[in-house]
Amino acid sequence: MTIKEAGTATEVSSHSEERVATDSRPASLDPGSLTPDQFRKRIKEKFPNLVLTDDKIGQWRGIEALEILRREGRDIPLILFKAAPQEDSTRVELAQMVKELARSNAELEQFASVASHDLQEPLRMISTYTQILAEQYSGKLDAKADKYIHYVVDGAVRMGTLIRDLLEFSRIGRAENGLKSTDSGEEVRVVVSNLQATIDENAALVTWGPLPIVMAHGFQLRQVFQNLIGNAIKFHDGKPPSIQVSAERKDAEWVFSVTDNGISIAPENAQKIFAIFQRLHTREEYPGNGIGLAICKKIVEQHGGQIWVEPLATEGAVFKFTWPARILEK
């Protein structure tokens, strides 16, 4: 199936769709050797938004598709795409929407930043002066008062951490950091070095296979590995954590895997754990706020990938995420 543009034939691909859409010259779709039904089916697959009705006029993103013609005694599904006048206004609308989204995003980031900064201040006062009270009146207050003071301080400390985490989450963006070539193996090596103390404490073992070079913003890929490997060490169930990091090429993507032998994750929780501040355990069982995976998800998705978890049959879990494989040469 080919698209003819004013005399030149071009293969139908997703890129051609765009070119046809923005080109103001008419382009025609030649069915080649396909029967009308086969052709109709192919059209539906390639252009799902195109409504083909029996009177053979459809609409596709503001582009008029004209008649399916009768020629030489048989129905030849011939669709001519002509850029309709609305095309320009669609482009203007789109540009407008992009501008509005950028503005809204900037506003939200600023709000999150200012709010967290201003919220930290009174929180610090609550926490600090309650502790001072406890110190100055220690021995003069009863056990109940001590307990209440502990709850106040604990609450304030936790709120402070939540605000900081929220701020960190809201700040993950692309604006300041351009994409740069990143050696994922080197990033894992740095993460393991950063986590050395907790690795030693837990007698953990982290190994990795050959890992590729990819494009990433700032140190965000490192952050993903830090959270995933850190979690793998943290959520063990008594035995020394054993963690493997690997990557497999699949079409235009790399699929990274972080496998551990710790606690497993029930299938019904597989989605939940990536939500912000979602925890599956009490603070006594495992510490943390529940933002690590939400951060991983945001970073991975901003780079055009996806992240998910696969429980293992025996024990532990594999966290996988995809990452675009293309390298931009400077």
Partner 1 sequence: MNIETEVLLVDDNPGDAELTADLLRRSGPGIHTHCVSDGVEAMAFLHCEGKHSDAPRPHLIMLDLNMPAKDGWAVLVEVKSDIALETIPLVVFSTSQARTDVARCYELGANCYVTKPTNLDGFKSTVAGISNYWFGLASLVRAGG
Q: DSSP per residue over 216-252, as a string?
A: EETTHHHHHHHHHHHHHHHT--SSPPEEEEEEEEETT
Window contacting partner 1 (CB under 8 A); options: 2-10, 34-42, 95-103, 126-134: 126-134
CB 235 within 8 A of CB 262: yes
**Length of the chain (residues):** 330
Interface with partner 1, residue 124, by CB under 8 A = yes
CB of 307 to partner 1, least distance (A): 29
Q: Which is nearer to partner 1, 76 or 119 (CB)?
A: 119
Q: Which is nearer to partner 1, 26 or 160 (CB)?
A: 160
Window contacting partner 1 (CB under 8 A); options: 2-10, 97-105, 125-133, 292-300: 125-133
Interface with partner 1, residue 10, by CB under 8 A = no
Interface with partner 1, residue 120, by CB under 8 A = yes
Q: Which is nearer to partner 1, 103 or 124 (CB)?
A: 124
Burial class (CB in 10 A: 0-12, 13-18, 19+), 114: exposed
Strands, E assignment, 125-204:
179-183
CB of 191 to partner 1, least distance (A): 22
Considering only 13, 89, 110, 128, the residue that binds partner 1 (CB under 8 A) is: 128
Quick one: how far is CA 87 from the chain centroid? 31
Nearest-angstrom CA–CA distance, 182 and 161: 30
Question: Up-side HSE of residue 284: CA atoms within 13 Å toward CB?
Answer: 0
CB of 122 to partner 1, least distance (A): 10
Burial class (CB in 10 A: 0-12, 13-18, 19+), 229: buried
**Beta strands at 8-11 and 2-5: parallel, antiparallel or unpaired:** antiparallel
Window contacting partner 1 (CB under 8 A); options: 21-29, 124-132, 250-258, 266-274: 124-132
CB of 131 to partner 1, least distance (A): 4
Considering only 111, 129, 137, 277, the residue that binds partner 1 (CB under 8 A) is: 129
Nearest-angstrom CA–CA distance, 258 and 244: 6
One character per residue 145-164, x = contact with partner 1 (rule: CB under 8 A): ------------x--x----
Q: 70 pairs with which residues across the strands?
A: 75
Considering only 11, 45, 55, 121, the residue that binds partner 1 (CB under 8 A) is: 121
Interface with partner 1, residue 180, by CB under 8 A = no
Window contacting partner 1 (CB under 8 A); options: 80-88, 116-124, 268-276, 302-310: 116-124
Q: Which is nearer to partner 1, 177 or 207 (CB)?
A: 177
Interface with partner 1, residue 289, by CB under 8 A = no
Using CB under 8 A as the binding criterion, the count of chain residues that bind partner 1 stands at 12
SS3 state at 89: helix
Burial class (CB in 10 A: 0-12, 13-18, 19+), 308: middle
Q: Which is nearer to partner 1, 84 or 157 (CB)?
A: 157
Interface with partner 1, residue 25, by CB under 8 A = no
Nearest-angstrom CA–CA distance, 35 and 281: 60
Interface with partner 1, residue 177, by CB under 8 A = no
Radius of gyration from C-alpha coordinates of the chain: 28
Task: Give residues in contact with partner 1 (CB under 8 A).
Answer: 117, 120-121, 124-125, 127-129, 131-132, 157, 160
